A and B are shown apart, each in its own frame.
Chain A
Amino acid sequence: MQPLSYISAYTHRPKSAGSRLHPVSINLITNFTDDVLERILGGMCLNEGLYPVITKAPYKQYGIALNDRTSPIYRSKPDISFVIFDASAHHQSEFLSAEHRDDTLSAINAYAGAVGGHTVVGLFSLPYRGAYGHFFSEEPLFVALSDFNHKIKRLAQTNPALHVFDANKVMHRIGEEQARDPRGQCAFDMPFTSEFLAALCAEWMAYVRAGLGLSRKCIVLDLDNTLWGGVVGEEGPLGVTLGKEYPGVAYQHFQRALLSLWECGVILAINSKNNEADVREVFEKNPHMVLKEEHFAAVRANWDDKSTNIKSLAEELNIGLESVVFIDDSPLERERMRQEVPEVLTPDWSVEPEEYVQKLLALNVFHQMSFTEEDKKKGKMYAEEARRKKVAKTAGSVEEYIKKLRIKIQVAEGDRVAIARASQLTQKTNQYNLTTKRYSEADIAALIKKGVLVATGEVSDVFGGYGIVLLAIMEVRGKEASLDTFLMSCRVMGRGVEQAFFEHLLGRLRTRGVSTITACFVASAKNKPAEGFLPAMGFKKTGVKLNERRYMLALGPVAKKLTSRKGKSILVLSS
């Protein structure tokens, strides 16, 4: 899409989010005229079903706005703040002053810690030419900008709410000559072309998705002419185009790119019109396959409709269709998928195999705000899950299955090491989540500091670990506790761990003298699975307001036996 289309979408945006659009509050802090930037960013949000409310620091007043806690950029309660400054060689940049740089850096750092949400700061893009040509890196502007870039990176290492974005990479992609608009700069202090701003916003959108928990988690792949060249049913497992020579090598590159996403925690699955035996043979016999069967969390190789397959894949993997990307070389299959399952992202894939890698990476939809140990282990966890499924098949009942797994929960309270993961759970968990409140790492750290009970549960069983998959946030005041957040990652759904975890917490509250707990269930489009949790734990409904159901539990001196508890055999340990 052209920049003008985004500008148009934003100019003609509806007056309010309505029920269809997901609101997002964005702050924009720059040192140039940023109206076009605002409009393009807004248009991109609208294009993805988001309703942007963009608040800007007034022109040339970012220093005041960042420091004034009553300014509009604080009051807007941003989900995400984008900060980007520009300095060019002869524009007499304020950033030539070391004092100004340091003041601004500390203002940004304090702002990021106080304002909430995520703050994404762009590195200065370094000018291609200056008076010193390419001969001396001592040129004052070059030195000044490098100094800022270096320092902001250091700040981001210790401030979890602060993220650094390398705007040089966007400059690299567009080219400085196409990115800068000298007339715009001189006439209106608009130094960038709308092409550059659109490329910048396209990258920023990855942060918006990640910040709102809208990143995709799973890639579902076709096989013939997608993962390898040719048709395995005709050419056989060794006859397909795959290997060290072109074009086979292009498919290998694509497989390696998929593998690197898998190593970042993206789930892979197969959805292909083939005989399952043929597919298995390729995995077993073709030595050129980079991806092995173990990398795939689930496989559908059959002659069913692909949209039916993808729905059953999502169900098997316990993920929503809106976290799935479907890649298929056939325009017909793609069109049908878009018609039947519009929630799934089905990108255009009518390109040569050597373009596949760029196409995949340019999707920009898999990123997370933080990258935790859990993410790296996810691929392995799905392999363990396949083994669990075999046990489930032989077990007579759910209870027997749970018993065979010998599940353990390690509970920690106010664990600072778990802050990144706790924040990530609030960002990513949509299904088993009572209130769907999103917290940044800084928010979680602040809650712990305030004395709010932040309890995490790490679950493991005989086959391996699931990582930290349970989170409860509870405010305790004297005899009363209120449950702010209770969630469970979908990885461990259906095993009763949420009940065992909560019972353990009730025991802890009892020893602290708590006698009543209030809680609520805020219905969202996705959290139906969590609807029955509070009643199952003995909570009584006290009121309903719009999509919010309020509950209360009177905590007796002795634990009551829950009749419906699935996870009786679960061992809960606390550290």
Chain B
Amino acid sequence: MDALKHIFSSVLHVSTDEVTKDLSPDNTPAWDSLNAIILVTEIEKAFAVRFTFDEAMAVKNFGEVVQLVRSKGAAL
């Protein structure tokens, strides 16, 4: 979980403490479409998983990211 939070903190200019399940594009100005794809790429690399475009775009907040990563069989 720390690794996942670290990725969000690195890309989105928030501290790891601020990365909660409710963190979302709506309450995080830096979470734009460009940073979204950077996040996707970094998460895929860190956890050796691969998302489809639709999966990645459907994500609404950090909590859903956690679920998505887990659904790919990665341990968090």
Contact = CB atoms under 8 A, between A and B. Distances in A.
Are these two chains actual partners, yes or no?
yes
A188 B42 CA distance: 15
Main secondary structure of the interface of B (DSSP, over half): helix
Interface string B1-35: 00000110111110000000000000000000110
Contacts of A8: 6, 9-11
B14 to A, nearest CB: 9
- Of the candidates B12, B34, B38, the one having the most CB atoms from chain A within 10 angstroms of its own CB is B38
Contact of B34 (A4, A11, A33, A194): A33
A55 B13 CA distance: 19
A194 B41 contact: yes
Contact of B10 (A11, A33, A183, A184): A11
B37 A4 contact: no
B7 A4 contact: yes
A11 B37 contact: no
A193 B33 CA distance: 17
A11 B12 contact: yes
- Of the candidates B6, B37, B53, the one having the most CB atoms from chain A within 10 angstroms of its own CB is B37
Nearest to A9: B10
A12 B33 CA distance: 20
Interface in A9-23: 11-12
Contacts of A360: none
Contacts of B34: 33, 35, 188
Interface residues of A, number: 17
A198 to B, nearest CB: 12
Contacts of B38: 7, 35-36
A190 interface: yes
A190 B7 CA distance: 19
- Of the candidates B10, B37, B38, B53, the one having the most CB atoms from chain A within 10 angstroms of its own CB is B10
Contact of A184 (B11, B33, B41): B41
A188 B37 contact: yes
Contacts of A188: 33-34, 37
B11 A187 contact: no
Contacts of A187: 37, 53
A274 B13 CA distance: 52
Given A4-B7, A33-B34, A181 B41 contact: yes
A265 B46 CA distance: 43
A541 B13 CA distance: 48
Contacts of A33: 34
Interface in A189-224: 190, 193-194
Interface of B: 6-7, 9-13, 33-34, 37-38, 41-42, 46, 53
Given A188-B33, A188-B34, 5 more contacts: A7-B11, A8-B9, A33-B34, A184-B41, A193-B41
29 contacts: A4-B6, A4-B10, A5-B10, A7-B10, A7-B11, A8-B6, A8-B10, A11-B10, A11-B11, A11-B12, A11-B13, A12-B9, A12-B10, A12-B13, A33-B34, A35-B34, A35-B38, A181-B41, A183-B53, A184-B37, A184-B41, A187-B37, A187-B53, A188-B34, A188-B37, A190-B37, A193-B41, A194-B41, A194-B42
Interface of A: 4-5, 7-8, 11-12, 33, 35-36, 181, 183-184, 187-188, 190, 193-194
